[in-house]
Structure 1
Amino acid sequence: MAHYQNLELQYIGGQWLKGTSTQSIQNINPYSQDIIFKMAAASTVDVDSAYAAAEKAFYGQLMQSAELRKSVIQKLQEVIRARRDEIVGWLIRESGSSRLKASIEVDAALGIIQEAGAFPDKMLTEQLESKDPQRRSFVLRKPLGVIAVISPWNFPFHLSMRSVVTAIACANTVVLKPASDTPVTGGTLLGKLFEEAGLPAGALNVISGSGGEIGDYFVEHAAPKMISFTGSTEIGQRVGAKAVGGETLKRLALELGGNAPLVILDDADLDLAVELTVMGRFLHQGQICMSTNRVIADVSIHDAYVEKLLARVKQIAVGDPDKADTLIGPIINAAQVKKHQQIIQIALEQGAELIYDGGIQGNLVAPHVFINVDPSADLAQEESFGPILPILQAENEAHALELANSTRFGLSSAVCTRSLERGAGFAAQLDAGMTHINGISVADHANAPFGGEKNSGLGRFNGRWIFEEFTRTHWMTLPL
């Protein structure tokens, strides 16, 4: 099976076209720093073309066929399984994913595709009890129309697929704008996969361009009925303002930043706590919104936990993401590396004690572990999105809960304890969208609600929750 070609082009209306912007996107391997290709970026003209193609496809008879959509989704799973090695290879080269993380990502995408396969049959008309004895009452489940998807670079394949396949399963059409760091794994690769799966032309369009040139225009455009955005809280807030501040109000699905706590209670299994920390913080270099951004350890077990953690952290393999034993590969780009250097420096200036410094070489940032962290310090309050771990001390369980809830974020969280009943009681008090007891903070099931509270987003992805987000209800009455 030949590998896909022309992945540096825009995908509009079923055609592979060169972007019309005067700007270009450099697709760079974050580990080797090799230029994979240069891509002519999309302009606002391309945005117009993509939205026009999506609107035309939405009103076409093919997308209104549930059988066609089910067939495409089934074929899509087969194509991804056949091209699994190709997809994993792209994730390693383009996003700096380790083999472990790339494999997890492809499996997650397959899970969400399988879940979406049931959605075409759920686009039903439901009869209600009528309060008027002379009329019948019905609720129609309908698609929204064109959905605009903006996806990030950290889990580009899964987080693009999560919105795209769900939208299409619900008879919507899509214009996808992937992150400029991952135009293939978050964008054109999906275009090729859906094309091979038999999706009608124009039902999915993929455009890559700079945020400065097309970002606001993409969101403010009159065509999309909904904006599905995954990314940072700061950009998400801008997207939200643009989506509801224009002439046409749009629905929003925002999955934003996190500051997930791992709370280690005084009765915890410390060996388990260490493993939860290592995988929760250092998988994909900590570049995950659900990543364990801080540990809150009870004072009674703090020192013993830290001792065990340091011994384990020293064993972590850092380097080439293509090697099977690598856990920490490269940070996505030099700008992010500089950000991590600044986070470390500010943490030191604010009084945190750096007890493990794995070093920084190129785009490789090894683990950095801090203790004696002030809960009000930037290191504890803000998302680092890297392999930097602050450990806070809690005086008792009540204090641990106070610390866990004391940030502007509320996405994921985790609790470690030998008592599941105690853990469940603690978890229920956390101001977060997701909590995992004796599990890592990084978890995503295709049939479970994914999303956060506070500044971590709006709405929920996955399962029946995303089905509700990506469809609309229409009440209709008829005389008897």
Structure 2
Amino acid sequence: METYRNLDLQFIDGGWRNGKGSKQVESINPYTQETYATFQAASLDDIDEAYQSAKEHQPAWSDMNPFERNGIMRKAAEIMERRKDELIDILVKESGSTIIKAEQEVELSISIVRLATNFPFAMETTVNQSMVPGKTNYLIRKPLGVVGVIGPFNYPMYLAMRSVAPALATGNSVVLKPSSSTPVSGGTVLGKIFEEAGVPKGVMHVLTPKTSEIGDAFYEHPIPKMISFTGSTEVGTHIGEIAGKNVKNTILELGGNNAFVVLDDADIEKAARGAVFGRFLHSGQICMSVNRIIVEESVMEEFCEKFVELAKTIKVGDPEKKDTLVGPLISHSAIERLQKEIKQAKEEGAEMLLEGKVDGNVMGPTILKGTNDMTTAKNEMFGPVVTVIPVKDDEEALKVANDTEAGLSGALHTTDKERAFKFAQKWETGMVHINDQSVNDEPYIAFGGEKMSGLGRFGREHSLDEFTTYQWISDQVKPRDYPF
């Protein structure tokens, strides 16, 4: 089996070619800082061509026998299984993923495709009773039409696939725009997988443009009926505003400022281990990562001692080494941003418990102790930096946990289940994980946030609902008696 080739091209209308843009997009290996792939950028004309083609070919794809569409989706999952090592290697080299994280991401990607294999059979028509005598009501689940998907750099393959697979399986055509930092692992490799699986020409497109050349054109375009975006709250709110003006559906998975709460009866060893994994996996570049650790004062010293001790044992550096947990950040500008915010937090009174060494784009675990008002606690760090915050009791812990505009994920450690559920249900966040950490995603459960962390839900029947709509068709079988 040959590895995929020509992954540095645009995939438009069933063909692989250079974009018509005037600029290039370079994908850089974050660890070696060598060029991984160079694209001739997609242009405004390329975007229009992709959307026009997607619109043209979508009806035939939607009308395809569901068993055939199911077969194509099953084949896509089988291809990913066969190419697992290849996909892991792409993630490690392009996105700086450690092997631990890349293996997890590929498994999640395969799982969401497998989930979507059931969706062709869920495009059902139901017959309903009517309050009008002699009428039969039919409720028909239909695809939206054309879906535009915008993916991020941090989990590029999975966070694109969780929209692409359900959208295709329900009969939509898709135009995918990956992050310019990960155009292969979050873009062209998905195009290759579905092309190999047998998705017809014009149903799947992958574009890598330069934002400076296209502006808002990808989501302003009149053809897509849905924009699925995963990324920053700042960009997501802008997309939501434009989509609202154009009456487009959106599903937005945005930033998080996730809390990890340790109550006084917690198992401190387990809590510390969970916090290490939840903060430092993929160098903290995960929307669900632990950003704040809120600890009751009576166990603060014990927790911090164990947490710092464990953090010091983490393998940091080369993501190609099997036991590395903290690899590189996506770019050196991310390092510079983190260093600036750490400096500001220290000026605000934060105490440095562990200072991570910086080497190129790699930064070691960094632990601060402070308050919820400090820069490193108020902002989503998106790096291996965490702030530990002492609180007096459950009430203050909950208040601090909720004191943020974000509301994506959280974790809570206590040995009292009743106490845990009482706390969790008052927490203004989409997901709470008791005696675990905040980085959890399963294709068979509802995933999504509250407040400024986004709109909509991924997973299970929730994805089915997001990428479909209903049409009501009634049939007046017997003549209706009108009052005139």
Task: Report Cα offsets for 1:274-322 as digits up to 9, x if no partner.
Answer: 1110000000000000001110000000001001111111101100000
Q: Is the counterpart of residue 259 in structure 1 residue 271 in structure 2?
A: no
1:436-451 pair list within 5 angstroms: 436-451=433-448
Q: Which moved more, 1:402-411 or 1:340-349?
A: 340-349
Structure 1: how far apart are the matches of 2:20 and 2:63? 28
* Corresponding residue for residue 320 of structure 1: 318
Answer yes or no: is the 8 Å Cα contact 2:61–2:200 preserved in 1. no
TM value normalised by structure 2 = 0.97
Note the 1:87-166 alignment, pairs <5 A.
87-166=87-166
The alpha carbon displacement at 1:421 in A equals: 2.1
Q: How does 1:391-406 map to 2 (within 5 A)?
A: 391-406=388-403
Alignment correspondent of 1:12: 12
SS across alignment from 1:271: helix
1:476 aligns with 2:473: yes
- Please say if 1:184 is aligned against 2:184: yes
Q: Greater CA deviation, 334-343 or 215-224?
A: 334-343
State the Cα distance separating 1:62 from its structure 2 match: 6.7
Deviation per CA, 1:314-370, whole angstroms, max 9, x where unpaired?
101100000011000000012211111111111112111111112111100111100
Pairing of 1:51-450 with structure 2 (within 5 A): 51-60=51-60, 64-245=64-245, 248-371=246-369, 373-450=370-447
Rounded to whole Å, the distance in 1 between the matches of 2:101 and 2:417 is 29
**Cα-to-partner distance string for 1:25-69 (whole Å, 9 max, x where unaligned):** 111100001112221011101001110111111022575331221
Partner of 2:46: 46
| SS of equivalent to 1:376 | coil
Q: State the alpha-carbon separation in 2 of the partners of residues 171 and 38 from structure 1.
A: 32
Q: Secondary structure at the match of 1:300?
A: helix
CA apart distance, 1:214: 2.0
Structure 1 unmatched ranges of 5 or more: none
Percent of pairs identical after alignment? 43
Name the TM-score, length of structure 1 as normaliser.
Answer: 0.98
Aligned residue identity for 2:376: L
Q: Secondary structure at the match of 1:194?
A: helix
Deviation string 1:58-82 (CA, Å, 9 cap, x unpaired) is 0225753312210111101110011
1:33 aligns with 2:30: no
Residues in 2 aligned to 1:420 and 1:339: alpha-carbon distance in whole angstroms: 39
After superposition, what is the alpha-carbon deviation per residue over 1:423-462, rounded to whole angstroms, capped at 9, x for unaligned? 1121111100000001110001111111000000001111
Name the CA distance, whole Å, in 2 between partners of 1:170 and 1:93: 32
The code of the aligned residue for 2:287 comes to C
CA RMSD of aligned residues (A): 1.0
Assess if the C-alpha contact under 8 Å between 1:63 and 1:69 holds in 2: no
* Secondary structure of the corresponding residue to residue 59 of structure 1: helix
Could you tell me which residue of structure 1 aligns to residue 480 of structure 2? Answer: none
The one-letter amino acid paired with 1:360 is: V
Count of aligned pairs between the two proteins:
477
2:91 partner letter? L
Match of 1:282, SS state, is helix
SS in 2 for 1:36: strand
Distance 1:446 1:335 in 2: 33
Contact 2:271 2:436 in 1 (8 A): no
State the alpha-carbon separation in 2 of the partners of residues 283 and 316 from structure 1: 10
2: CA distance between counterparts of 1:397 and 1:18? 57
**Which whole-Å CA distance do the structure 1 matches of 2:254 and 2:282 have between them?**
18
Task: Tell me if the contact between 2:371 and 2:390 (Cα under 8 Å) persists in the aligned partners.
Answer: no
Alpha-carbon distance change, 215 to 190 in structure 1, aligned in 2, over 3 angstroms:
farther
Alpha-carbon shift at residue 256 of structure 1 (Å): 0.1
Aligned equivalents of 1:265, 1:439: Cα separation in 2: 13
Matched residue SS, 1:171: coil
Give the counterpart letter for 1:177 in structure 2: K
Where does residue 452 of structure 2 map in the other structure?
455
Q: CA deviation at 1:215?
A: 4.2
Q: 1:394, CA displacement in angstroms?
A: 1.0
Contact 1:293/1:390 (8 A) holds in 2: yes
- For 1:215 and 1:175, how far apart are their aligned partners in 2? 16
1:19 offset after TM fit, Å?
0.7
Tell me by how many angstroms 1:90 deviates: 0.3
8 A contact 1:62–1:200 mirrored in 2: no
User: Residue 216 of structure 1 aligns to which amino acid in structure 2?
Assistant: D
Query: 2: CA distance between counterparts of 1:378 and 1:131?
Result: 59
TM-aligned CA deviation for residue 118 of structure 1 = 0.9
The residue aligned with 1:24 is: 24
